[in-house]
């Protein structure tokens, strides 16, 4: 009997202590998808944060991108998801419709501070009078080129193409085929499933004098002569100039890494993977201009607070979100993940701008557009299909563009008319 009661007493004390400590300490969860540099960056930031806030524990959860949106939606809806969560800026409408995230409180995140401390593309996270998330880093596009192939083709490896015409010219010179005409080396890696669909919409269409969308991004406006001209130019790379083929080496970035594509357009996030290339030297430059017009597409992942988070967890989540968007966190992110700081003051230092790798991306940010997606995957699909209609089914460019514009408009309407 005595043993039993002693045990019970011990248990009671134990439980008492546990509840006492849990009243003091808060555990919050941070979710993102698995991407080596980003995972390491957050781990490092959590360590710093926990040192500064010993009463808060941050649990870092990461899992593959393929499951990411589904799992987040299912978990938050079931009331047991993350507290602070990363989302692609293009998902904000969907997540808002699903009540997955909550507005950032204005006292902790004053709007004038947000607008001062972040690139203007952060506006894509604003709906009505509220911001729904803040990025640590932003990404833009640039033209990667293989210096060895340039030199082999008699081109100056330190003078990458600056205009679209120069791009075609360099691509023609660096394309190699075998005796039967099979492609051995692409001059330009075309890949609609990569970043080309962003390049077409936000850069090429504008450079050809058109506009991809109305200013509020609620109407598709590229079904125009300028739109047709831009798509024609893109399709010509494969059909007329034959400097690249969709699907060659599976993806354009794989072709580039294998040293089988002389040029490729890709994002900041590719820097770390290409950094592992040892077979040849490569460079990166701003996207080519046309008639003096430059363009770029910027995007980012933002940190948001889940709708289910409240009380102490909410306070801790706010603290952590503020922490991962400080200038120091951004510097750390640049170092670990190779992504550009979301704060212009941190990003646009003369040191960064002169950096041969980050420089071109940073310059692109100055004139970049950010598409306000309502359903990124469905909208991307319309562009992939548009080019495939021309390449695989021999449809005229004008018809393919019209079909794509109609399909994308339907996606937009489905969302905005809800």
Partner 1 sequence: MTAAVEADGGVAAARRLWHRLTVHQKHVVWAWAFLAVPILFYVVIRFWPTANAFYLSLTDWNMLHKASFVGLKNYRRLVADPVFWKVFRNTFGYLIIGTPVSLLLAFLIAYQLEKVRFMHGLIRALYFLPFLTTAAAMAWVWRWFYQPLPIGFINDVLALVGLPQQPFLRSTTQALPSVLAAAIWAGLGFQVVIFMAGLRAIPTTYYEAARIDGVSNGAILTQITLPLLKPTIIFLVVFSSIGFLRIFDQVYNMTTNDPGGPLNATKPLVLMIYQTAFSSFDMAYATAQTVVLFLVLLVISLIQLRILRDR
Residues lying near partner 1 in the complex (CB under 8 A): 69-70, 73-74, 77, 94, 97-100, 178, 180, 182-184, 192-193, 245-251, 260, 375, 377-378, 381, 384-385, 388-389, 392-393
- CB nearer partner 1, residue 122 or residue 400: 400
- CB nearer partner 1, residue 69 or residue 295: 69
Give the nearest distance from C-beta 79 to partner 1 in angstroms.
13
- CB nearer partner 1, residue 42 or residue 190: 190
Long-range pairs of 39-43 with CB within 8 A, sequence gap ≥ 24: 40/336, 40/337, 41/332, 41/333, 41/336, 41/337, 42/324
Give the nearest distance from C-beta 385 to partner 1 in angstroms.
6
Question: Could you give the C-alpha distances from 394 to 182, 239, 399, in angstroms and in order?
Answer: 21, 11, 10
Measured CA to CA, the distance from residue 310 to residue 306 in angstroms comes to 9
Give the nearest distance from C-beta 109 to partner 1 in angstroms.
25
Measured CA to CA, the distance from residue 93 to residue 1 in angstroms comes to 63
Give the nearest distance from C-beta 388 to partner 1 in angstroms.
5
Half-sphere exposure of 373 (CA within 13 A, CB side): 24
Measured CA to CA, the distance from residue 177 to residue 188 in angstroms comes to 13
- CB nearer partner 1, residue 375 or residue 413: 375
DSSP letter for 302, please: E
88 phi, psi to nearest 5 deg: -70, 140
234 phi, psi to nearest 5 deg: -65, -45
- CB nearer partner 1, residue 159 or residue 177: 177
Measured CA to CA, the distance from residue 25 to residue 4 in angstroms comes to 31
Give the nearest distance from C-beta 410 to partner 1 in angstroms.
11
- CB nearer partner 1, residue 191 or residue 202: 191
- CB nearer partner 1, residue 137 or residue 246: 246
- CB nearer partner 1, residue 197 or residue 363: 197
- CB nearer partner 1, residue 201 or residue 290: 201
- Contacts of 42 by beta carbon, 8 Å cutoff, 6+ apart: 30, 32, 60, 62, 324
Give the nearest distance from C-beta 411 to partner 1 in angstroms.
9
For 148-166, b/e burial (b = at least 16 CB within 10 A) is: ebbebbebebeebbeebee
Q: How many CB atoms lie within 10 A of CB 277?
A: 14
Give the nearest distance from C-beta 20 to partner 1 in angstroms.
38
Give the nearest distance from C-beta 196 to partner 1 in angstroms.
12
Give the nearest distance from C-beta 4 to partner 1 in angstroms.
22
Measured CA to CA, the distance from residue 371 to residue 202 in angstroms comes to 7
Question: Could you give the C-alpha distances from 410 to 193, 207, 403, 406, in angstroms and in order?
Answer: 21, 25, 11, 6
């Amino acid at each position: 009997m005595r043993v039993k009661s002693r045990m019970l007493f011990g248990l009671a004390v134990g439980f008492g202590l546990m509840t006492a400590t849990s009243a003091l300490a808060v555990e919050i969860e941070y979710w993102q998808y698995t991407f080596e540099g980003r995972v390491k960056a957050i781990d490092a930031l959590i360590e710093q944060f926990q040192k500064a806030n010993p009463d808060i524990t941050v649990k870092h959860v990461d899992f593959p991108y393929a499951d990411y949106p589904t799992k987040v939606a299912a978990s938050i809806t079931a009331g047991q998801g993350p507290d602070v969560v990363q989302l692609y800026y293009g998902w904000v409408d969907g997540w808002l419709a699903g009540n997955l995230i909550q507005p950032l409180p204005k006292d902790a995140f004053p709007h004038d501070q947000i607008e001062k401390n972040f690139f203007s593309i952060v506006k894509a996270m604003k709906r009505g009078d509220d911001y729904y998330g803040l990025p640590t880093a932003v990404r833009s596009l640039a033209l990667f080129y293989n210096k060895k192939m340039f030199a082999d083709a008699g081109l100056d490896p330190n003078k990458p193409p600056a205009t679209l015409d120069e791009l075609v010219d360099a691509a023609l010179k660096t394309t190699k085929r075998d005796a039967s005409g099979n492609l051995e080396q692409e001059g330009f890696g075309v890949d609609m499933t990569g970043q080309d669909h962003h390049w077409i919409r936000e850069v090429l269409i504008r450079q050809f004098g058109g506009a991809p969308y109305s200013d509020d991004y609620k109407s598709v406006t590229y079904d125009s002569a300028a739109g047709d001209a831009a798509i024609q130019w893109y399709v010509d790379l494969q059909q007329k100039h034959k400097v690249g083929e969709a699907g060659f080496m599976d993806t354009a970035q794989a072709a580039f890494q294998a040293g089988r594509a002389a040029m490729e357009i890709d994002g900041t996030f590719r820097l770390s993977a290409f950094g592992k290339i040892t077979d040849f030297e490569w460079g990166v430059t701003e996207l080519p201009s046309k008639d003096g017009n430059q363009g770029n597409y910027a995007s980012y992942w933002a940190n948001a607070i889940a709708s289910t988070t409240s009380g102490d967890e909410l306070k801790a989540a706010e603290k952590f979100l503020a922490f991962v968007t400080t200038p120091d966190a951004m510097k750390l992110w640049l170092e670990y993940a190779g992504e550009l700081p979301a704060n212009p003051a941190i990003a646009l230092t003369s040191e960064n701008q002169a950096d041969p790798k980050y420089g071109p991306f940073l310059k692109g940010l100055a004139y970049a557009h950010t598409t306000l997606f309502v359903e990124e995957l469905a909208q991307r699909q319309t562009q992939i299909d548009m080019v495939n209609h021309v390449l695989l089914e021999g449809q005229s460019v004008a018809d393919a563009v019209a079909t794509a514009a109609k399909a994308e408009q339907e996606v937009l309407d489905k969302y905005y008319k809800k």
